[in-house]
Each structure stands twice: as C-alpha cells, then as structure tokens.
Amino acid sequence: MNSQNTPIQNKTIALAGVHLALSQIQQVAWQGNTDQQQLHTSLQSLFIDQPDSYLSVYGSVEALRPGLVTLKESLTELQKQAVVERYKYQKSLFTLTKKFCKNNYLVDQISTTLELINHAESTVDQNQDLIARCAQLYQNTLSTLKPRIIIYGQPDILAQSHQAATIRSLLLAGVRSTLLWYQAGGSGLTLLLNRASYLHTIDQYLS
C-alpha cells in the first residue's frame, strides 16, 4: 500500500473505520436501524484489497466522518455508557483479529470468499444478499473463535434474523479495519499513550 500519510494519520483512519462499524452495531442492536450510507462505507471496505492509501479503503474523509466523530467521542467521553460499551467491543475485536491473523486457514477462507462475493457484483444499495453473505462468512469463520463477541441491545431486535445478519456483517467489517490498524502500527498500549495525537489528527480531518 502506497501512502503519503503519516503513521498516526493511517492509524486514525483505520481506527475510525473500526468505530464506524461499532457505532452502527450499537444503532442496530438498540434501535433496529442503521444509516445506509455508513453501512455501505463499512461493507465496501471489505472489498478494497489493493488500496492506494488507508483512506481509499473508505472512499473519502466525508464518508469516514461519522467514524471520526464516534472515535473522538470514545477518546473524550470515557464515562458515557455508549462509549463504555464500545470499548468492550473494541477490546473484543482486537483479541479476535489477533487470533484470526494466526489462523492461516481462516485467513485464506475469508479472502477467497470475499473475492467470490465481490465478483458477484452485489451492492448493499441494490441487494440485501450482500449482508447475508457477509454475515454467513462471519458466522462460518470468525464466530468459531473463542471467546465470541457478546452484543448488547434490545432482545426483540437481536432475535430478528435480518438484524443479526447486519450485526455480523458489521463485525466482519470491524475486523477488516482492526487489521488495517494493526498493519499501520496500532496497539492497545500506543492507543493509550498517543491519545492526544489521535485527537489532534481527528480534529484536522474534521476541520
């Protein structure tokens, strides 16, 4: 990947991608809906396998803006219930992605299946089958790793198959962004130590 961005810019972009997916998971789990453009941005990131830059995975700063806003909230409003919940998901994604990277079989299976889905030319705007296929891929692969990610929300919403599928597809997108973050040099320790740098970079993108 060729990128003229600084390491902290790349890490901020990737982590904003994580939080874009996580905020949508929360919206689905608690409200039963999601923003279609944000969902599109997250899911399409799964199919950008040779990006020119970290930002190109998500299309543009404007497309990633909701993720940047959510990430800023997560770094500044630590006592907020939604943020506490999001940090639990983030920690689980970090653990899951590390385990995934060590499992060559799952890496190959996910890569191959995403190529097949992409070649089918499904789009989230035109075909809900994309969500179903991504959800099935997550269920067949990443959900077999322990411990499983526990999703909090309204029980009646979580029991609906199409809502559960949307959440699983977003978890897959969250793993994709977490993997990018690791590739950019991200780690739990540096996230704590570089909090001010993340916030400064977020403000630059949002200005």
Report which of 147, 205, 155 is spatially closest to residue 15, judged by C-alpha positions: 205
What CATH homologous superfamily does 7-206 map to?
HflD-like (1.10.3890.10)
Say which amino acid occupies 78: L
Q: What are phi and psi of 40, to 5 degrees?
A: -60, -45
pLDDT reported for residue 124:
47
SS (H, E, C) 23-51: HHHHHHHHHCCCCHHHHHHHHHHHHCCCC
pLDDT reported for residue 4:
74
Q: Using the structure block, give the residue that is written with the tokens 């949307």.
A: 166
pLDDT block averages, 10 residues each, the chain of length 207: 83 99 99 96 94 96 99 97 98 97 97 90 64 96 95 98 97 98 94 96 98
pTM above 0.85, yes or no: yes
The two structure tokens encoding residue 172: 């897959």
The domain ranges of the chain are 7-206
C-alpha to C-alpha distances, 123 to 21, 46, 49, 117, nearest whole angstrom: 17, 12, 16, 10
pLDDT reported for residue 95:
97
